[in-house]
Copies of this chain bind each other. A is one copy, B any other.
Amino acid sequence: MSPVEPRQRNARGQGGRLSTEIVEATQRLIDDGVDALTLRAIAREAGVAGPSIYDHFANVDAIRDEVRGRCFDELITSLSEASTAADPVTRLQAICSAYVAYGEAYPHRYALLYSFVRTREQNTATGHGGPRALHILVESITGCAAAGRSSSSNPYDDAVAVWACIHGLTTLRASRPDFSQIQSDETLRDIVHRQARIVDLQPRR
């Protein structure tokens, strides 16, 4: 549990590095699904004494917010990297697959993104991940419509619908891992196609 050899303290002038180590330690605890994220548990995981946290963060919520922001960045990066295919429908599909895959790979990080937000400051501080993800979807659906592959007359509205639906599928996959229908790629495909009003070139079946 605790590291065998004691942590080597950062060199003079490198004190800020502990800040990153604290955030990474917290992310590990979140990934492990710990129920109670405490300051002392974070300090233990980072290999540091409890009070050392205070030089870098005011409290656990501040650390959690930092992790949340990182996770949003990760997710957005993942969506951008998936957005490479030339065919607009393939691209939309890849973006949505990447979205769901992130939630599947890191269910606790994903849950953190959409956890109840206590204060308005937290909301405005880290709440931009949703709109950024949404923007990628809007662009993608706009591309499908421009290519005549979607009958969407309002890509923004349809992107919101796609977002809500793949969010639902992602969280259901986490809470019902035994429900094969929900885990199926086919289900994801159908949901996205319908909400994005994709016009199939050749109807399936």
Interface residues of A (CB under 8 A from B): 33, 36, 107, 111, 114-117, 123, 127, 130, 156-157, 160-161, 163-172, 174-176, 178-179, 181-182, 187, 190-191, 194-195, 197
Contact = CB atoms under 8 A, between A and B. Distances in A.
A156 B181 CA distance: 10
A197 B154 CA distance: 19
Nearest to A158: B190
A95 B176 CA distance: 22
A114 B194 contact: no
Given A164-B187, A168-B165, A176 B116 contact: no
A168 B164 contact: yes
B187 A130 contact: no
Q: Which of A111, A114, A170 has the most CB of B within 10 A?
A: A114
